[in-house]
Structure 1
Amino acid sequence: MNNPYRPLPPLGALIGFEAAARLGSFSLAAEELNMTQSAVSHQIRTLETHLQQPLFLRISRRVELTDAGRDLLVSAQDALETVRLGVRRLDAYSKPGSVVIHMPPAFGALWFAPRLVQFRESHPEVDPWLYTDGHDVDLTESEFDITVTASLHTGEEFVAAPFLAEERVPLASPGLAAKFQNRLSEAPLIHDEHPDDWQSWFLAAGLERADCSKGLNFSDTALAVDAATRGLGMCLCDRGQAQPLVSGGRLQVLSPVGLRSGSQYYLVSLKRNLQRAAVRSLWDWMLAETGGS
């Protein structure tokens, strides 16, 4: 099998080349890299031998790039900067208080983010790193310490705890709620892409409405909820996720009728992750916020 990296020169030689090309001097490059000038010269010769063409013109005591050298400099600087930034990002994984947590976008925007101030006040030593998307993740093959998921993980290496049981309730801003409280069948609607939709809710509530598909549409539940806070219509959202907005007076629950699809979300981690104090602190706090243990 062919090695796709065989044509690549040694990375160290590229570093010496980039410094010498940028500074226009082997001696200045050596000073910047804390190397001897002969070591830099050796790196350049190694690179030129590997590429089988000159990269510098040696003119008296100065050097100038050849056309090939100028071309390579652009690629070398881009590549080295990409590697530098990639290595720098790794620092976050080794921070003592860093906890990488994964959850669906609606949980992140509606449940987690509004509680961050409270969490940081009580746990200043923990630095949560929130990653949101709608897909399940494999904790054994990823950098995530905790995930919120509807999939129950089994296996000796996992720890799973019930987090939230989904119940979708109708919500609206206080102004819109006051206007349509006794005639929900006439209120403007806001839709997301959840299978428990307005048609299902009106059927469960025993109310008739012919235009259940009419109204604003969002693919993101959090954006649908935001539109509701702005008085643009009624939305459906999980009661637990919307609680910070209800407690803060930005939304009101319009009916005791909720859609319980049976979806149960779990907090899942690996046993080895929970041995870290920061991960355990965030885990325990999240369960306490939902009445879990």
Structure 2
Amino acid sequence: MKLPPLRTLPVFEAVARLNSFSRAADELNISQSAVSHQIKALETYLGEALFLRNGRYLTLTDEGRSYQDSIGSALLQIERASEALLGEETARIRLAVFSSFAVRWVIPRLPALKRAHSQVDLALEMTGESPQLSDRVADCFITIHPESSAFTYDLLYRERLFPICSRQFWQRVCESLGLNSAAAEDGPDGEAMTLTPEQIAGFPLLSTHSIYGRESGDWQAWFQVADQGIPAHARVQHFSHMLMALEAARFHQGIALTNDYMLSQEDDEAAFVRLPCHTLITGDRFYFAHKTSRRNEPGIRLLRRWVMDQAIASGLRSASEG
């Protein structure tokens, strides 16, 4: 078995992850010159430059980035295997998840995770909706783009958007339209009554830019389901993020488009009303992802099963969905 100098590998991993020789030295409790010596020895063995040095700035070369992906994964597997044999009780797992899903769905469920699996030490890493799938970022991910063939993806949720408002604002809507609020609320899927797009457009619309990446894109798509455009008289308030639009709706400022996981907390039913009108299927699918080569690690297996169970229990997906 032909291996590189093994003592150089943890040093390389630390420098690549921290993007700094000095911070790697502090973490490893060795001198900066020792770090530099180990990196030089590894580059000499491989015959490749792993870092580009420009004054104080340090970046990985393409070869270094590829090597980091492989080495990082291998070192993590060695660590996990050693912990298992040593009988370590704590499974340290990093989950990369975008902000709205983290704040509205994952974080409220962390106490339940701790009660059910006290050995799991879960660290949340905030990312965009399309995080780079790499061991140097996290161990597991919530993503809407299942692009890497090196990863396994479990479907959590098929997104749909529907209009909501606060209960106080709902009373205003009903009074303005001459509706019985209780009767209207009984039928969110149209059993009792359905509000038309024209009626919805008569009230302030709270729009989230990030959903479609353009101004009023969410409401444009919602009206298109009914073969209409946003009426010229509609008043649209713009927000960059769905979390902001949801809070504006909570404080009675208008009607927002939101999805199921944004309304997954116990007090949401008391705070919001889902308006009786049509739903928009966005086409986005949310997945729990982890590197296939790490599928048998106990911590990852446990977190995957817990997340999938929670998705089913909260109604994001059915038990039969694939």
Instruction: Give TM class, smaller chain.
Output: 0.5 to 0.7
User: Superposition pairs for residues 1-293 of structure 1, below 5 Å?
Assistant: 96-134=90-128, 136-155=130-149, 157-181=150-174, 182=177, 183-193=199-209, 194-195=211-212, 196-205=217-226, 209-212=231-234, 214-244=235-265, 247-291=268-312
Q: What do residues 52-77 of structure 1 show as CA deviations (whole Å, max 9, x unaligned)?
A: xxxxxxxxxxxxxxxxxxxxxxxxxx
CA distance in 1: counterparts of 2:223 and 2:304, whole angstroms: 37
TM-score by length of 2: 0.55
CA distance in 2: counterparts of 1:144 and 1:246, whole angstroms: 31
When Rg is computed on C-alpha atoms for both structures, the one with the higher figure is: 1
3-state secondary structure, aligned to 2:304: helix
3-state secondary structure, aligned to 1:197: helix
3-state secondary structure, aligned to 1:187: coil
Give the paired residue count.
Answer: 203
Q: Percent identity?
A: 20
Change (3 A) 1:243 1:187: farther
Q: CA deviation at 1:169?
A: 0.8
Q: Which runs of 5+ in 2 are unaligned?
A: 1-21, 30-79, 178-198
CA distance in 2: counterparts of 1:249 and 1:230, whole angstroms: 13
CA distance in 1: counterparts of 2:252 and 2:261, whole angstroms: 21
Q: What do residues 25-69 of structure 1 show as CA deviations (whole Å, max 9, x unaligned)?
A: xxxxxxxxxxxxxxxxxxxxxxxxxxxxxxxxxxxxxxxxxxxxx
Q: CA deviation at 1:197?
A: 1.6
3-state secondary structure, aligned to 1:261: strand
TM-score by length of 1: 0.60
3-state secondary structure, aligned to 1:100: strand
Q: Which runs of 5+ in 1 are unaligned?
A: 1-7, 16-92
Q: What do residues 120-167 of structure 1 show as CA deviations (whole Å, max 9, x unaligned)?
A: 332222222112221533434524111111111353x42111111111
Change (3 A) 1:152 1:246: farther
CA distance in 2: counterparts of 1:189 and 1:245, whole angstroms: 25
